[in-house]
Structure 1
């Protein structure tokens, strides 16, 4: 089982990134909470990982902090929730914000995360409330972002991959974008607006 990787970040395009570790390129799927704080391509990065093996696939997920990984794992213990929704949770809220929503039982805010309906949100509150305090804490391992060629398009595509419909994703990205914003900033602002 792979628990942590340290190497050179050689590719990043939400939700995928590739880390070169001594000549082996590990492809990982990561939430936007991790993408926000990734270093520039070509720089060293250290990631906590979650290795998932199913009958027909093997997946590797990357997180900059241990609390993110813990939340990713705990959310999937709720019946009906898989990796895709767990990534959407971390892409739409911070660990602290999610813990607060669960502790206060804010079902309405939780349903604004793509893929989470009212019944799923209610199950999250019931099943995770006792563990919510354990989600918080930890520090980021790396920082800095690169500004890609077309941030608005990248942000729109990433929002679609998080479960938003194309027209909705484009509208959200356009409303959130400011001149000079990298895609990570546009996505963060769009998701924060969606939660209001």
Structure 2
């Protein structure tokens, strides 16, 4: 029940599943396969798929590392949002794209769990969107050398706290790929 008026639709938001972002990610192949399943399901059900692609000084726009992984191919009519910050809404056209599609509910997948996924979930929720995280369709790389928990712990913790996220007039939650029901989230 989004707080955004006249926004009854759901979209699958695929965040930063790029060669250079997921190359060393935890359970990369399984996560990319789950995302591929969800993209296929969304397309079959007529649910918009919105792609987000990050670039910065370490991920140059147009480079091979910047490209979406070869297992996933954005459809020609599917919006592609370029971003330079963790939150996919920050200084991008994402809000305009979603508004144009009448979207008030997001199903979020992608990378990196502890950076762009976290920032985008919170950014969406703070802006009035319902936001569902697919618990087995996001990943991160190992940052333990810098004091972070192991990737499996980062993912598990994010899944746990997003399950219990709450705010007036909005819903959040975490589901598994097999549990995603696009019709039930709109």
TM-score, length-normalised on structure 1?
0.29
Structure holding more helix per residue: 1
Which of the pair has more CA radius of gyration?
A: 1
TM-score, length-normalised on structure 2?
0.30
